[in-house]
Structure 1
Amino acid sequence: MEELKPSTVIMAALSTLSPPHLSDLSHSIFSDVHTSRRRLTFILSSPTLFSFTLRHLNSLSLSHKSLLVARFLLSALRRLSRPFQTPSKSFPHHPSTAFVTPRDLDAAVLLLLLCDVRQHNPAALETPITHWRSTLCRIYSDSLLTISGIATGGSGAIIPYIETVGRCWKFVGFVVSRNGGKARREVAASPVAVVELPSVAVGGCMAVECVICKEEMNEGRDACQLPCEHLFHWLCILPWLRKRNTCPCCRFQLPTDDIFGEIQRLWDILVKVGSPSDGD
């Protein structure tokens, strides 16, 4: 499944949604697309703001540009994966991974447009940089007229949105690998997610063993229950979650404040939902 195109993975997951859930997601995507396009229109219509945003974008390093794209990707994956998370396994958003300054938001919106133009019409950016605004305005206006569904808020907004998410996924993966990063690495669970974990009283006739310390839990004592329903001693699980966000038993992933770790967690949800039920 890892070899499939990002758009294929996402479409496979969305194909499992019921019509009402797909409709709700479509409206959510349309609202997000509308907000981004309105911001981009404002940038392109103002020579001063465009020049300011472009200078800011050019001043950023490749790793900072990757971070901008990663934040957009994280926001999109949260939206796309939300229908597949049950209330018992969902957590609130984390400000540390969601916050973007207005200046960086403008830079991210313009960067996504430049990446799209570079892929589909690279010759357009071979003109002097002083002509870029007028060139981008023309291309942007043409795209608004040709993308079906955007004007009416129909499901046609999903396809270009998914294509953008796919390009962001590839770009972030490329930058991470180029910088020597690993596709998968251990990341700590978010403190917000840990605080949300419930305490449950251990009881019944069956002994419950904490797999971390290999000792039985005393009946009547509170234990920590993860969303996957596995139980652990609080004193055992807390040090564990400070180093990694996975369940020691089944590898269920809790949210993390690491942006790239959270992207991978949400991506895994989509991959799992869209995978064939063949027992592999």
Structure 2
Amino acid sequence: MADQNSTEAIIMAAISTLSPSRISDLSHSIAALFHCHRRRLFSLLSSPTIFSFALQHLQTISLHKKSLLIAHYLLLNLSVLNHFVKNSTAAPPYSATGMKLRDLDAVLLLLLLCELHQHEPEALESPPSFWRGVLCNYMADTMLKLTSFGASNGEVLIQFIEKVAKCRNFVNVMGGENGGSDEGKDGREVAASVAAVVALPSVEVSSGGRECVICKEEMIKGRDVCELPCSHLFHWMCILPWLKKRHTCPCCRCRLPTADVLAEIDRLLEDLVKIGGGGGGLYGECSCT
């Protein structure tokens, strides 16, 4: 798993591959997303009832679940960035990367509490019943940050990179590291997501003699087989059971999307490493590139 400095380096290298117009589009998209979240945070702090529910939710969940909340928030932001570095048109589909409102409230409050504790550790020594007022005062002093009108593209991107790196660091510290492996935190193998498997194309074998590495049998010319994003081919009856247990290609370990949030964060960061030209760095070079 990446530490904060390496995460910043990965993101900066990927952003450096964008054209000036795409950097501008990315900056506007990030500012709009964080402006939306900032407005939700203001709504949360202005309502004693909503604030009470969000704080109670945070106080009743485990440290691991708090880590997963931040991981989901991190994944949302990485998904926006990956969209811009991989695509040349349109804005990212926010609905596809959104969070449930209850979870969004909880993670925004959690991140704000962590930020306040970092800058003013003594502020949270007061009873929780006073925290809403303390947070309102802190927000009033910092409300001109990321979402302020007139901020330059560079300022927005710097704020974004810092926020993503901090979230990554929080996930590592609060939830423990999984070592960047293809397994879940508890040692289970991570399956490819259903949506990713359904989207896999079926292609016709153009020439005989090619072998399916799973069953070791020849793929017959003219028959339909499954093609993974790395272009490796497999019998459908062979690859489907494989992907129910693993989200990597049997040949080159190229990763498919997964429903496991920590594995998906690793996959997106790995993609950014390759895009930024750091194939031999933190995650190593994928043999399918």
Instruction: Label 1:100 to 1:148 Cα distance change in 2 as closer, same or farther (>3 A).
Output: closer
What is the 5 A alignment of 1:5-44? 5-44=6-45
Separation (CA, whole Å) in 1 of partners of 2:150 and 2:230 = 40
What is the 5 A alignment of 1:40-59? 40-59=41-60
* TM-score (norm. length: structure 2): 0.84
Q: Percent identity?
A: 51
What is the 5 A alignment of 1:143-222? 143-145=142-144, 147=145, 150-152=148-150, 154-155=152-153, 156-177=155-176, 181-184=178-181, 185=183, 186-204=189-207, 207-222=209-224
Aligned position for 1:113 = 112
Shift of 1:196: 0.6
Shift of 1:255: 0.5
Shift of 1:227: 1.3
Aligned position for 1:240 = 242
Q: Is the 8 A contact 1:94 1:257 kept in 2?
A: no
Shift of 1:75: 0.6
The residue type paired with residue 27 of structure 1 is H
The residue type paired with residue 15 of structure 2 is L
Shift of 1:29: 0.7
Shift of 1:182: 5.0
The answer to whether 1:125 aligns with 2:135 is no
Instruction: Label 1:149 to 1:257 Cα distance change in 2 as closer, same or farther (>3 A).
Output: closer
Structure 2, unaligned stretches of length 5 or more? 184-188
* TM-score (norm. length: structure 1): 0.86
Separation (CA, whole Å) in 1 of partners of 2:22 and 2:101 = 31
The residue type paired with residue 150 of structure 1 is S
User: What secondary structure sits across from 1:211 in the alignment?
Assistant: coil
Aligned position for 2:84 = 83
Instruction: Label 1:84 to 1:210 Cα distance change in 2 as closer, same or farther (>3 A).
Output: farther
| Alignment size in residue pairs | 270
User: What secondary structure sits across from 2:231 in the alignment?
Assistant: coil
Separation (CA, whole Å) in 2 of partners of 1:259 and 1:114 = 23
Separation (CA, whole Å) in 1 of partners of 2:95 and 2:249 = 20
Q: Is the 8 A contact 2:192 2:247 kept in 1?
A: yes
Shift of 1:2: 4.6
Shift of 1:225: 0.7
Aligned position for 2:186 = none
Q: Which moved more, 1:167-176 or 1:65-74?
A: 167-176
The residue type paired with residue 17 of structure 2 is T
The residue type paired with residue 15 of structure 1 is S
Aligned position for 1:273 = 275
User: What secondary structure sits across from 2:245 in the alignment?
Assistant: coil
Structure 1, unaligned stretches of length 5 or more? none
Q: Which moved more, 1:218-227 or 1:160-169?
A: 160-169
Q: Which moved more, 1:193-202 or 1:167-176?
A: 167-176
User: What secondary structure sits across from 2:143 in the alignment?
Assistant: helix
Q: Deviations over 1:116-140 (max 9, x none)?
A: 1112221222233332222211211
Shift of 1:277: 6.6
Shift of 1:211: 1.7
The residue type paired with residue 149 of structure 2 is A
Separation (CA, whole Å) in 2 of partners of 1:160 and 1:144 = 13
Q: Is the 8 A contact 1:27 1:154 kept in 2?
A: no
Q: Deviations over 1:191-236 (max 9, x none)?
A: 11111111111124x6322122222211100111111111111111
Q: Deviations over 1:254-278 (max 9, x none)?
A: 1011111111111111222234477
User: What secondary structure sits across from 2:18 in the alignment?
Assistant: coil
What is the 5 A alignment of 1:52-71? 52-71=53-72
Separation (CA, whole Å) in 1 of partners of 2:22 and 2:258 = 26
